[in-house]
Structure 1
Amino acid sequence: MGLTAEIAAYRSATGDPGRLVGEFRRAVLLVPLGGGSTAADSELMSAVSGGIRWLYAFTDEEALARFAEARGEAGREWPYLAILGARLVDAVVPEVEGPAGVAVNVADMDGSMLFPPVAGIVPDACAVDVEAESAGVA
């Protein structure tokens, strides 16, 4: 069905959480980089809210352009990394200090979706809803 369609179905209460997460993991997402000339600018763009670092990710260049427009920054270049959702949560999230999730299409009021740092989305060792002992961490 595709990630945007699964998000729409889930938001309209007709979707299936398992299908949604599966499409998220299979989707190629565009993750903007910092965009400047310092070492930190090569990092993935994110924001912290509620103690969670949210990595921004977009389903296509149009969704990224809407984000740039919403920030009043449509006139600048927006370098990005194209990455599978699975790689983003399985390889990148564990490298982030503290809890991290993925915010997809955040500028789309009716098409955005948060994938929080919970079991079934991120590795158990990074999930906030898993006890450290049961996640294999001593």
Structure 2
Amino acid sequence: MELTEEIAAIRDGSGDPARLIGEFRRAALLVPLTLPIDGTDGTDGTAHGGLMSAVQGGIRWFYAFTDEEALARFAEARGAADREWEYLAILGARLVDAVVPMVDGPAGVAVNVADEDGSMFFPPVTGIVPDAYAVDAVDAVDVA
């Protein structure tokens, strides 16, 4: 199954979480790049042309899409369908194993976030991100 099919199966209650994570890790995802901002468009000029993300609830969520059509729906939802969207194609595994550890604080991935019935969040928990960056990881401590 492809990632979108696994997401649909999870959402309808028939999916397997392990299969979902496997498909996520194998999927080539499209992650939009932020534009370098000079402050002339009404923003504060703080973006630096990195991977597009947002912070919600203390977690940085990277936006990722399964195909260009899903990215286009996101652009339209943001009122920015008229501009060209540059993106990085990256495996889900590389996104969580290499990019998440570079973030200062917890980070996860929001897939197809503009698709009301097809989105899925991959939070910064064990089994998704490296244990050292998972918010639910507990250090092994001997308790006497």
Superposition TM-score tier, normalisation by shorter sequence: over 0.9
Specify the alignment match of 1:110 in structure 2.
117
Deviations 1:72-128 (A, max 9, x none): 000011100000000000000000110000000000000000000000000000000
Counterparts of 2:137 and 2:95 in 1: how far apart (Å)?
20
Counterparts of 1:37 and 1:54 in 2: how far apart (Å)?
20
TM-score by length of 1: 0.93
Counterparts of 1:3 and 1:41 in 2: how far apart (Å)?
30
Counterparts of 2:77 and 2:134 in 1: how far apart (Å)?
30
Deviation at 1:16, TM superposition (A): 0.1
> Helix, strand or coil: the match of 2:127?
coil
The CA RMSD measured in Å over matched residues stands at 1.3
Q: How does 1:88-107 map to 2 (within 5 A)?
A: 88-107=95-114
Specify the alignment match of 1:129 in structure 2.
136
Confirm or deny: 8 A CA contact 1:35 1:77 kept in the other structure. Answer: no
Specify the alignment match of 1:29 in structure 2.
29
Larger helix percent: 1
TM-score by length of 2: 0.89
Confirm or deny: 8 A CA contact 1:33 1:41 kept in the other structure. Answer: no
Match of 1:65 among 72, 76, 85: 72
Match of 1:54 among 48, 61, 70: 61
Confirm or deny: 8 A CA contact 1:58 1:104 kept in the other structure. Answer: yes
Deviation at 1:41, TM superposition (A): 3.6
Q: Unaligned stretches of 5+ in structure 1? A: none
Equivalenced residue count is 133
Percent identity for Structure 1 against Structure 2: 75
Counterparts of 2:6 and 2:48 in 1: how far apart (Å)?
32
Deviation at 1:35, TM superposition (A): 2.2
Q: Unaligned stretches of 5+ in structure 2? A: 39-45
